[in-house]
Chains A and B, each alone.
Chain A
Amino acid sequence: MKHLAEYRDADTAGRLAADIRLLVTRPWAIMEVCGGQTHSIIRNGIDQLLPAEVEMIHGPGCPVCVTPLEVIDRALEIAGRPDVLFCSFGDMLRVPGSRGDLFRVKAAGGDVRVVYSPLDAVRLAREHRDREVVFLAIGFETTAPASALAVKLARAEGLRNFSMLVSHVLVPPAIAAIMRSPGTRVDAFLAAGHVCSVMGTRQYAPLAARLRVPIVVTGFEPLDLLVGIRAAVAQLEAGRHELENAFPRAVTERGNEPAQAVIAEVFAPVDRAWRGIGTIPGSGWRLSDAYREFDAEARFGVADIATAESALCRSGEVLKGAIKPRQCPAFGRECTPRTPLGATMVSSEGACAAHYHYGRIHG
């Protein structure tokens, strides 16, 4: 807890905010990629400490938010089967598919369980050999190593009743897609510290050079975020566009190489649809050919389930930074955390939910 208090110190936060005010001479839009960063910014009110020139745009980094509707629908279909024990991270349970959410499947008799790690799902498969145990594997590079390990473990133990519905996504292709999308307003990125602690920073230096955009690897505590924002503003004001590591206590250039190795063995790159954004080439992982037998989509024949999004929901534009949550006509009316139309309103990390919960007094 000592470490938490250190990185939440009000005086230091005030000094960092003053630094940023001194540095800034004109408007800049900075996108924090990770949903955990969005959550921390809103929860701690970091945006209120920033000068008016610095605008934070909440990026597509909430894995719950960007999981496409059809994956949710496939999950609902599988979880509703009587022979299935369906495992998911907690905040996926409330994400609406086109016919309800996992909570409703559970209420209707489906065996849906919250797990904290994919390895818990493997344990359930070991304990329930007569049931099909399915894990909904979502998340960025941060959660992928644990998913990969779970599949390896299932194979090593010969657990033929274990499978995975995989919807893992990757940060660098998303950054590239956002920079290339017409009308993008992003001047700099805060890259996700947790992702980089796994993958290292090597992928990001060429990306910053090619896209001519500053990328600052940033942590999640209030002071981490302010340090990251200060570094991004300093680069922008100086006309630089480089990779910078503002989270060196957790992130190295090479990252966690054993984790990268297990990912490379179990997963292979695939074009992935992002909810509200569309398909981004090479932006996801699927099970590699060597591990295809653990693919739940094939095992349960749900690969052809395809679904359209709500016509009212503009979460795609929110995710790209084109509009603020409040600029969506459905925000706070048809779409609230109790009746979410798009995933950005579902997760506590979603940009719309964060604005709805924490931003109401600031208009």
Chain B
Amino acid sequence: MADPDFTGLSCPAPLRDHPQVVLGHGGGGALTHELVTHVFRRAFSDPLLDSLGDAAVLDVAAQLPPGGQLAVSTDSHVVRPLFFPGGSIGDLAVNGTVNDLAMSGARPLVLTAGFILEEGLPVGDLVRVAEAMAAAARAAGVRIVAGDTKVVERGRGDGVYVTTAGIGVVPPGVAIDPAGIRPGDVVLASGTLGDHGMAIMSVREGLAFESTIISDSVPLHGLVAAMLAACPTIRMLRDPTRGGAAAALNEIATLAGVGIEIDERSIPVRPPVAAACEILGLDPLLVANEGKLLAIVPAEGAAAVLAAMRRLAQGRDAVAIGRVVAAHPRLVVMRTAIGATRVVPMPIGEQLPRIC
């Protein structure tokens, strides 16, 4: 008797018709494979990803000039809602890690992406997230070369969590070092503060304002490259994400053991963001940004850096907001609009809306 022929056999259960993520999508079997093929590989379309090896193998030598260094960073993203005016968790996942790399002066090369999906997540939403990541990666000139997917039970996640890790190249000669910070150095902001946090909060809390507040999520490494070209001795760069500018400036002051003095009137805040902060009793200095940076630059280079920043879209509204001082080490002090001074504290935890 001839051996039975299984080659024409296929399971009648349609694998791709799940409109929502099911636990099996994280099981490592056919469902996982389908999700990877139809969602991630299609969106990210990278030959390294298509090789489906356990690791992406990179030819670093070709990318790394003599004296250059590798920068590595990782960032996890949890945000509710997943989609908001100006972006989505997909944009944040790419730009977050790209910007973390950029703050060390690095040009990002590749990213990896880990997804934790909640059972029940509409597959259509996941496709939108993946496409947003792909678009953000293209805009940033970075490849997504490896990934992983897990699924947790319904009720044990917030739809999707995305963790990205990235590798970038720091060109030779770039040494961003807070140890070089001196009194007299200038504090620059690349643009308006508080946009991202208030965009999220106004959607999350169902607060409607006259004009929609748009998240500022963008990649910043191009801006950083232009700044470094204008002044290679930039002391420090920080992207003021969680905790806002207040946390970033306090970190810098503590790290360098210096005082920082900023001027309230020079801090750029869009009118709708300022109005939303007033209504909720929040301080724009404490609100998150996703496409802005703060820079400490030597006084003699400040004008050139500002000019270079303003030539690019990401730095169009760049301004000097303050300076490094020898007085009050490790404190950030603000000259208020009416000409008095106050300390800008390190935020403790969540900013809480005030009662009245």
Give A residues with C-beta under 8 Å from B: 1, 4, 8-10, 13-14, 35-36, 39, 42-49, 63-64, 89-94, 114, 116, 138-140, 142-143, 194, 222, 337-338, 347-349, 356-362
Contact B342 A116 (CB under 8 A): no
Find chain B residues with CB under 8 A from A349 CB. 354
CA distance A42 to B274 in the complex (A): 19
Chain B interface residue count, Cβ-Cβ cutoff 8 angstroms? 28
Say which one of B30-38, B168-176, B331-339 lies at the interface with A.
B331-339
Contact A91 B353 (CB under 8 A): yes
CA distance A337 to B346 in the complex (A): 11
User: Which residue from B331, B338, B348, B352 sits with its C-beta under 8 Å from A361?
Assistant: B331
B57 contacts chain A at the CB level, 8 A cutoff: no
CB distance from B122 to the nearest CB of A (A): 22
Contact A45 B336 (CB under 8 A): yes
Contact A13 B355 (CB under 8 A): no
Find chain A residues with CB under 8 A from B336 CB. 43-45
| CB proximity to A under 8 Å, residues B274-296 | 274-275, 278, 280-281
User: Which residue from B274, B353, B356 sits with its C-beta under 8 Å from A36?
Assistant: B356
Find chain B residues with CB under 8 A from A46 CB. 338, 340
B205 contacts chain A at the CB level, 8 A cutoff: yes
| CB proximity to A under 8 Å, residues B301-356 | 328, 331, 333, 336-343, 345, 348-349, 352-356
Q: A64-B355, A114-B353, A142-B356 are in contact. List 11 more A-B contacts (CB 8 A).
A: A10-B265, A44-B340, A45-B342, A90-B353, A92-B355, A337-B348, A348-B281, A361-B328, A361-B331, A361-B333, A362-B341
CA distance A92 to B355 in the complex (A): 9
SS class of chain B's interface: helix, strand, loop or mixed?
loop
Report if A8-B338 is in contact (Cβ < 8 Å); known contacts: A1-B271, A194-B356: yes
Contact B354 A116 (CB under 8 A): no
Contact A10 B339 (CB under 8 A): yes
CB distance from B346 to the nearest CB of A (A): 10
Contact B352 A93 (CB under 8 A): yes
Contact A138 B355 (CB under 8 A): yes
CB closest chain-A residue, reference B280: A116
Find chain B residues with CB under 8 A from A337 CB. 345, 348
Find chain B residues with CB under 8 A from A44 CB. 336-338, 340, 342
User: Which residue from A13, A43, A93, A348 sits with its C-beta under 8 Å from B339?
Assistant: A13
CB distance from A114 to the nearest CB of B (A): 7
Report if A1-B337 is in contact (Cβ < 8 Å); known contacts: A89-B355, A90-B353: no
CB distance from B284 to the nearest CB of A (A): 12
CB distance from A87 to the nearest CB of B (A): 13
Contact B274 A43 (CB under 8 A): no
CB closest chain-B residue, reference A63: B355
Report if A91-B339 is in contact (Cβ < 8 Å); known contacts: A116-B205, A361-B333: no
Find chain B residues with CB under 8 A from A360 CB. 331, 343
CA distance A46 to B340 in the complex (A): 7
Contact B354 A222 (CB under 8 A): no
CA distance A143 to B354 in the complex (A): 12
Contact B340 A48 (CB under 8 A): yes
CB distance from A55 to the nearest CB of B (A): 16
CB closest chain-B residue, reference A50: B340
Report if A42-B342 is in contact (Cβ < 8 Å); known contacts: A1-B271, A4-B278, A116-B205: yes
Find chain B residues with CB under 8 A from A142 CB. 356
| CB proximity to A under 8 Å, residues B224-265 | 265
CA distance A359 to B344 in the complex (A): 10
